[in-house]
Structure 1
Amino acid sequence: MSKGIKILIVEDDENLRFLVVHRLKSEGYEVLENGDGELAVKTILEEKPDIVLLDWMLPGKQGSAVCEEVRQKGFENLIIMMTAKAQDVDKIDAYNFGVSDYVAKPFNMDVLVAMLESKVKFLLNNDRSEIHRFGDMEHHPNIHTLYRNGRKIELTILENRILLYFLRNPNKVINRDELMLVVWGYNSDVNTRTLDMHIVRLRKKIELNPDNPQLLQTVRGIGYRFNAG
């Protein structure tokens, strides 16, 4: 049963690429593959896949450069970076080159499939581009950008994940453990202080007065709640 979703895998490790391609085809995806950064740019622009699974370390052109180039050329679909080291996620943040999300290697195939399923659900339901509006803001998660009265506010990959989870679960009290699992993944050793630090940064971008947050509120002893009004 075909899902009508096209995924491009860009990975130079042939064994891993074979496993991912095989699994995703069995899940009903149309799958393209290549193992080189230069070729990836060409394939993305010509084939316009719905989702790109892009390795961080590539011959020819780094994953980050591939991402940046296709974004500059107008590609707006999902790009998920595959990274071997969790700390690389902070580098992904720093350059802000338009990664939609990331998955840390080594990943469990079931976890990868579940992540893609959740993305695809939104792709299919929201005519391919999920946009959330709240207050005087618009959130475009695929390009992790906020717009306030037309002004663009860039989000890091982690801020984007946190905000998206709150926007998909409005007015619900979300405990810190649940949020950390969603944002950093099942094999992460992140601590609550790191989460709180990202919440503080996110508030600076979405709150009119970050010291007295109206949207992203702390629920003492439990976690947070997004007040969607």
Structure 2
Amino acid sequence: MYKNIRIAVIEDDENLRFLVAHRLESENYQVVQTGDGNEAEKLILEQKPEIVLLDWMLPGKQGSEICANLRHQGFSNLIIMMTAKSQDVDKIDAYSFGVSDYITKPFSMDVLVAMIENKVKYFIGNQGVEQYTFGDTEHHPNIHSLVRNGRKIELTILENRILLYFLQNIGRVISRDELMQVVWGYSSNVNTRTLDMHIVRLRKKIELNADKPAYLQTVRGMGYKFVDNP
């Protein structure tokens, strides 16, 4: 299934880079790698991997700068930023330098593999094609955006994850715990209040009246559900 999927691992921690590369190769992905920020751009532009795992902090050059340079030179494949847990990932401006998604360190290899499998399933080979429609709104998850009446509305990385999960599970009641697990993974510093805050922000972007949501509805005592035809 994955024999033709190439992943670039850009990480200056040699032990972590070895572990990630070894696990991905055992899952039958092709892996190219480097720990040098300056080498990274050249390697990625030459090899054109379907997915790039890019460390946020690299010697000599930040991951954000590498990402921006790659986008400027026309690289459009998925770039997943590996960030320190202490960084507030939702404040990362995905649009100024083009990050597709992120994963926080430390992460388990199982979580990383599951994330990549999800990207392969939903994005590889479907870039620019996959979209969801509800009402008069289109959701383009690969570019973190909504399009309504010809106007583009940008979503944060976390808003994008939340909405995508709802659109993949229309009509199903999703508990807060399930949603937090899907969106934040194993991050222990996330609570229901943080989730509810993101839901409020998302509603302001997708609902005609955020105070009386038609699509993203609260199910008291249980969680939320997304209704396609309110």
Structures share a fold, TM > 0.5?
A: yes
Tell me how far 1:214 sits from its aligned partner. 1.0
- In structure 1, what is the equivalent of residue 88 of structure 2? 88
Tell me how far 1:188 sits from its aligned partner. 2.4
**Higher mean C-alpha deviation, range 139-148 or range 88-97:** 88-97
Quick one: distance in 2 between partners of 1:94 and 1:144? Answer: 9
Whichever residue aligns with residue 61 of structure 1, its letter is K
- In structure 1, what is the equivalent of residue 63 of structure 2? 63
- Given that 1:77 and 1:142 are in contact with CA atoms closer than 8 Å, whether structure 2 keeps it comes out as no
Quick one: distance in 1 between partners of 2:132 and 2:37? Answer: 32
Give ranges in structure 2 of 5+ residues lacking alignment.
Answer: none
TM-score by length of 2: 0.91
Partner SS for 1:15: helix
Q: Percent identity?
A: 72
- In structure 2, what is the equivalent of residue 72 of structure 1? 72
Would the alpha carbon gap of residues 71 and 94 (structure 1) be closer, same or farther in structure 2, given more than 3 Å must change? closer
Question: How many residues were matched structurally?
Answer: 229
Quick one: distance in 1 between partners of 2:79 and 2:94? Answer: 16
- Given that 1:174 and 1:222 are in contact with CA atoms closer than 8 Å, whether structure 2 keeps it comes out as yes
Tell me how far 1:125 sits from its aligned partner. 7.1
Would the alpha carbon gap of residues 124 and 41 (structure 1) be closer, same or farther in structure 2, given more than 3 Å must change? closer
- In structure 2, what is the equivalent of residue 133 of structure 1? 133
Describe the superposition over 1:69-124 as per-residue Cα deviations: whole angstroms up to 9, x where unpaired. 22233332211111122433133247753222111111111111111112112235
- In structure 2, what is the equivalent of residue 179 of structure 1? 179
**Higher mean C-alpha deviation, range 216-225 or range 74-83:** 74-83
Describe the superposition over 1:41-62 as per-residue Cα deviations: whole angstroms up to 9, x where unpaired. 2333332211111111012221
TM-score by length of 1: 0.91
Q: After the TM superposition, which residues 1-229 of structure 1 pair with which residues of structure 2 at under 5 Å, given as runs?
A: 2-93=2-93, 97-123=97-123, 126=126, 129-229=129-229
Would the alpha carbon gap of residues 2 and 216 (structure 1) be closer, same or farther in structure 2, given more than 3 Å must change? closer
Partner SS for 1:189: coil
